């Protein structure tokens, strides 16, 4: 049996066509045979430089036979065998859609081990300028920086897994700077506007409870639509958030997991909201706290809630904000009212309190300035 050659071991030779060829051992097959990486150059000096660079790259790396697969093959394997069951099905299908539409047509056939940071940079530039490769669409509009940044996140995760499993010497995505994403401005209702909205929803008997609960809890729209009576504990005054409602194929509704695993949470309700839900439960006809008005066996459709909000805002002469801005309004007023970021992150279902602080930096900045003024006045009084 031939002696197993260590990774990094290599050789150099001059080819019949005058070019120089080098190869190094980068791993081994199951039977012990070496897996080689081949390098070519016009001169021996150029080849030596490339060879040393590759030896440094593959030092301590032991690739497996599967490293010979294409990027497309690995991404399918990653989605089906590594990610399935670890993220929501809706999220997984989003990953698959982005990979099939935007990554595979451009880089899918390239060997996994040959993917470079330059390849990924070129991909992102192409997507920003021209969008996806589509037959018969040479002038397809470019993708937004947010979308391309999301594609980078997917690839970074997939290639990091490949590195951990011995399919890559290093993750090329870690050496790439994705497009910067400009945060959308948050539209917050001030105290006066909030009073106007509360007055408006009080006049709407059909939707009052829905929007009152939103403004006092800051739930995501799908979470609010997905509430069932089994989630409400009237004695403890709590509400379990354990599902979300979203639109499915063909206009159907699907009940799924919350946006994040931290999204599954139990929140303590304000006294007024507890009383509202207790009274509502007395006349409840279905399992849903907020059933569809025309089909009570189904939950309120998120799109219907969105349209109703737009109607209320227009009638009240308020800014045309998004539904998610009601969540921002709740969080902003909660922080300004003295709720600490750790507690608020638990209410909102954020994974980390640091995310809450970053998201509402405009509020926490004002709070810090106020705190500095209080401390300054306190010290001044002592002096």
pLDDT tens for each residue of 324-351: 999 999 998 898 888 888 999 999 988 8
**When comparing pLDDT for 278 and 41, which is higher?**
278
Residue 21 β-bridge partners: 13, 40
- How many CB atoms within 10 Å of residue 269? 20
Sort 172 into a burial class: Cβ within 10 Å, 0-12 / 13-18 / 19+.
Answer: buried
**Cβ atoms of residues 55 and 9 within 8 Å:** no
| Nearest-10 crossing angle of helices 145-164, 117-130 | 160
User: What is the distance between the alpha carbons of residues 43 and 232, in angstroms, rounded to a whole number?
Assistant: 75
Instruction: Report the share of the chain in percent with pLDDT over 90.
Output: 52
Mean pLDDT for the stretch of residues 282-292:
96
Q: What is the pLDDT of residue 135?
A: 45
Residue 251 has pLDDT above 90, yes or no: no
**pLDDT tens digits, one per residue of 201-237:** 999 999 999 999 999 999 999 999 999 999 999 999 9
Strand 244-247 versus strand 34-41 pairing type: unpaired
Q: What is the pLDDT of residue 136?
A: 45
User: What is the distance between the alpha carbons of residues 90 and 93, in angstroms, rounded to a whole number?
Assistant: 5
**Cβ atoms of residues 40 and 90 within 8 Å:** no
State the DSSP H helix or E strand holding residue 186, giving kind and residue range, or none if neither.
Answer: none
CA 373 to mean position of chain CA atoms: 38
Mean pLDDT for the stretch of residues 226-250:
92
* Residue matched to tokens 């004695």: 235
**When comparing pLDDT for 203 and 39, which is higher?**
203
Mean residue pLDDT of the chain comes to 85
pLDDT confidence band for 260 (50 / 70 / 90): low
Highest mean pLDDT among 37-41, 63-67, 280-284: 280-284
Residues 6+ apart with CB under 8 A from 370: none
Q: Which of 47-51, 184-188, 243-247, 335-339 has the lowest mean pLDDT?
A: 184-188
Highest mean pLDDT among 32-41, 77-86, 124-133, 252-261: 77-86
Residue 362 has pLDDT above 80, yes or no: no
């Amino acid at each position: 049996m031939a002696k197993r050659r260590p990774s990094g071991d290599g050789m150099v030779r001059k080819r019949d066509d005058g070019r120089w060829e080098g190869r190094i051992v980068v791993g081994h097959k199951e039977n012990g045979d070496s897996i080689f990486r081949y390098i070519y150059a016009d001169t021996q000096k150029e080849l030596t430089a490339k060879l040393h660079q590759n030896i440094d790259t593959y030092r301590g790396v032991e690739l497996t036979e599967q490293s010979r697969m294409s990027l497309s093959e690995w991404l399918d394997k990653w989605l089906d065998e590594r990610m399935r069951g670890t993220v929501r099905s809706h999220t997984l299908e989003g990953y698959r859609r982005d990979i099939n539409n935007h990554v595979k047509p451009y880089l899918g056939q390239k060997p996994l081990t040959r993917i470079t940071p330059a390849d990924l940079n070129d991909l992102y530039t192409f997507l920003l300028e021209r969008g996806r490769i589509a037959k018969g669409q040479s002038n397809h509009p470019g993708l937004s920086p947010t979308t391309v940044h999301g594609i980078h996140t997917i690839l970074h995760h997939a290639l990091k897994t490949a590195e951990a499993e011995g399919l890559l010497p290093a993750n090329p995505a870690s050496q790439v700077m994705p497009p910067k994403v400009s945060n959308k401005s948050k539209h917050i209702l001030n105290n006066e506007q909030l009073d106007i909205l509360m007055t408006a929803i009080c006049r709407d008997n059909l939707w009052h409870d829905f929007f009152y609960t939103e403004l006092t809890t800051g739930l995501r729209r799908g979470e609010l639509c997905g509430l069932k009576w089994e989630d409400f504990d009237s004695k403890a005054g709590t509400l379990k958030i354990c599902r979300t409602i979203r639109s499915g194929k063909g206009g159907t509704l699907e009940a799924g997991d919350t946006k994040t695993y931290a999204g599954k949470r139990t929140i303590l309700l304000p006294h007024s909201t507890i009383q509202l839900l207790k009274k509502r439960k007395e006349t409840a006809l279905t399992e849903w706290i907020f059933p569809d008005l025309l089909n009570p066996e189904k939950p309120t459709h998120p799109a219907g809630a969105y349209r109703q909000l737009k109607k209320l805002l227009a009638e009240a002469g308020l800014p045309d904000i998004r539904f998610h801005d009601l969540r921002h309004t709740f969080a902003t007023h909660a922080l300004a009212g003295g709720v600490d970021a750790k507690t608020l992150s638990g209410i909102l279902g954020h994974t980390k309190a640091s995310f809450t602080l970053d998201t509402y930096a405009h509020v926490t900045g004002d709070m810090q300035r106020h705190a500095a003024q209080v401390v300054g006045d306190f010290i001044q009084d002592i002096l």
